Amino acid sequence: MAQVNPHAVRVVITGMGVICPLGNDVETLWSNLLAGKSGAGPITRFDASPFLTRIACEIKDFDPEKYMERRDARRLDLAIQYSLAAATGAMEQSRLKVTPENATRIGVLVGTGIGGLSTIEEGIRTMLDKGPMRVSPLTSAMMLPDMSSGQISISFGLKGPNFCIMSACATSGHTLGEASEIIRRGDADVMLAGGTEAAIVPFGVAAFHRTGALSTRNDDPLHASRPFDAQRDGFVFGEGAAILVLERLEHAQARNAPIFAELTGYGSTADAYHISAPAENGEGATRSMQMALRKAGLTPEEIDYINAHGTSTQLNDKSETVALKRAFGEYAYKVPISSTKSMVGHLLGAAGTVEAIASVMTILTGIIHPTINYEYPDPDCDLDYVPNSPRKMRVRTVLSNSFGFGGHNTSLVFKAYEPEAENG
């Protein structure tokens, strides 16, 4: 194959799949986001009464046997089940047919913030209660974070680049960005990329609560996730998976694939500041956004909408607001910004891809979904967060942020697909 100039390669989105608290397909997710619906409620997976946090955004009505054989549904960790289901939806939407001729040019890059936590917790409980010989032989494979990528590859026969990225809540931003780079450098024509998470288990909730990151608004879960609001008290745990089919433009055109948007910019930086708290001056996040804009060839004023990381924690929302002002200057006060997490909760390693889908749907529909539960303005968060109601406007470019524990920052730029841009 001839060498590829990465600067000349355009990467487009030809398929989207999602399993999340607001729906198990893109259309349902999007209609619920526009309706301002919250996916939060009391935890039902286990008895949460001893916990200080007893709420989460759980997935409803998920039947794994719609997406996989019963044998796989019984043995695969829930995080793997979610990712395989989301990949199935993305593949169906993209109308991508895998053949012996193209299989080696289609890869998978699916990340997770934690991995198979339910498998790990169950295995440890079994070992302590019943002894080491009673631990399932499948445990070692099903708890590994790379098994979503592996299972998707096996299920669809995809033989291109295949691995996993783990960068906490920045994971999905990294998987989408790095998958686009794989295509740009010519190592694949198509990449399935995204994230998955299924950490609403006792240990997961206990561990994150001990960091002080989770909301304890147990008596009012529908209003618990309130990004940028002065009374925010932490994020609401979410779960699920989202997968995009990223494709080299010429490859998509050759097979007459649906093209929903273009991924034009990717930034990735580190705070080098603190293991869990973001840098107060937003320096690392600022550079991430600036890098993504530079790679997309855009000025800040050319961004029509920002899908914020917006977790509903005191530190994150304040530092992201500071970073937005540093990256966008006075234009930060004019560009609309909203947080998908206000409704779906925080899906950790899957968050960035769910938000990528929201970004693409904003471009396609010309409607910005709101940040719900915004009631009490915070003087430290004084930008336009599209409070409580959707907003109609022409959106051609979107910047989406994902930041994670460890000081990881990623930013992505999505753009409306314009065929005529091919030659200029």
Please list the active-site residues.
169, 309, 346
Task: State both tokens at 242.
Answer: 């989202």
Task: State both tokens at 364.
Answer: 């396609």
Q: Using alpha carbons, list the distances in angstroms from residue 375 to 216, 225, 226, 241, 372.
A: 18, 12, 8, 30, 9
Specify the 3-state DSSP secondary structure of 51: coil
Distance CA 38, CA 57 (A): 8
Specify the 3-state DSSP secondary structure of 278: coil
- Identify the CA nearest to 272 among candidates 406, 170, 113: 406
Q: Which amino acid is at 177?
A: G
Task: State both tokens at 207.
Answer: 């561990």
Which residue do the tokens 């046997």 mark? 65
Distance CA 170, CA 343 (A): 19
Sign of CA dihedral 51, 52, 57, 60: positive
Give 222's contacts (C-beta < 8 A, 6+ positions apart).
38, 40, 41
Counting Cα atoms < 13 Å in the Cβ hemisphere of 155 gives 23
